[in-house]
Each structure stands twice: as structure tokens, then as C-alpha cells.
């Protein structure tokens, strides 16, 4: 099946620094990728949709200047958490679908755990 990877798997940073998380589709091209955030014992919350070659679209309540998304190629999307603060600590997950318009399955990366000190 389709494989999505994320790097790093975990990161610890100081408050005020920026952190970049990479999401790669390893064996397929993904024109669209999605970024989710998962809080402990809570569901996944969709943050934004990453579109190759265009600006990302953010869900209501998500700060686009805080969470910068770049979809540089058909296999790579990056999420940069800028000026991170402890409340940004979370588990960030990306996903990609194989088909743009069909009720499709999503293939998820293993997630990145961010801890901001």
C-alpha cells in the first residue's frame, strides 16, 4: 500500500524557536496532503490542506502565520511551527490521498511529537 513518512518522529525545542516537520509520500504522488493535530486522548483535528504549487488552505481557527505549510513537490509537504510555545506541544500527523475527487482512503504518516519547553 501507499506509504507516507514523516521526519522527525519527535522533536524537543525551546520556546520561541521554529520547527519544521516534513511529510513525504514515498511511492505515490500526492497533489494534496493534509495536516492534523492530535492532543492527548483526543481526536485528530484537521489543521490545513496542503496543495502542491499553491497556497495551503487553513481550517477555521488555525493561525496560518503560526503554522506555515509549503508543498514544494508532489511528494513533499512541510509544516513549520513558527515561534513555538508550550501550547503548541502536540502530535502532528500528515496524510495524503490517492485520488482528488473520489471518496478515498487517506494514508497517514506516523506522526511527529513536538515538545516545546
Interface residues with other proteins (CB under 8 A)?
4, 6, 32, 34, 41-44, 46, 49, 93, 95, 97, 100-111
Which is nearer to other proteins, 44 or 68 (by Cβ)?
Answer: 44
β-sheet bridge partners, residue 91: 38, 113
Place of cell 482512503: 105
Radius of gyration of the chain (CA): 13
Q: How far is the CB of 84 from other proteins (least distance, A)?
A: 22
Q: How far is the CB of 2 from other proteins (least distance, A)?
A: 10
- Distance between CA atoms of residues 87 and 3, nearest Å: 30
Which is nearer to other proteins, 20 or 113 (by Cβ)?
Answer: 113
Which is nearer to other proteins, 81 or 96 (by Cβ)?
Answer: 96
Residues in Cβ contact with 50 at an 8 Å cutoff, skipping those fewer than 6 apart: 23, 32, 33, 34, 35, 56, 69, 70, 71, 77, 94
Q: How far is the CB of 74 from other proteins (least distance, A)?
A: 15
Amino acid at each position: 500500500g501507499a506509504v507516507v513518512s514523516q521526519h522527525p518522529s519527535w522533536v524537543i525545542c525551546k520556546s520561541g524557536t521554529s520547527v519544521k516537520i516534513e511529510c513525504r509520500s514515498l511511492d505515490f504522488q500526492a497533489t494534496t496532503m493534509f495536516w492534523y493535530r492530535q492532543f492527548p486522548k483526543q481526536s485528530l483535528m484537521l489543521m490545513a490542506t496542503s496543495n502542491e504549487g499553491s497556497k495551503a488552505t487553513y481550517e477555521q481557527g488555525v493561525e496560518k502565520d503560526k503554522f506555515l505549510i509549503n508543498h514544494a513537490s508532489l511528494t513533499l509537504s512541510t509544516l513549520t511551527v513558527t515561534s513555538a510555545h508550550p501550547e503548541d506541544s502536540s502530535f502532528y500527523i500528515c496524510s495524503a490521498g490517492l485520488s482528488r475527487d473520489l471518496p478515498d482512503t487517506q494514508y497517514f504518516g506516523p506522526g511527529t511529537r513536538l515538545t516545546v519547553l
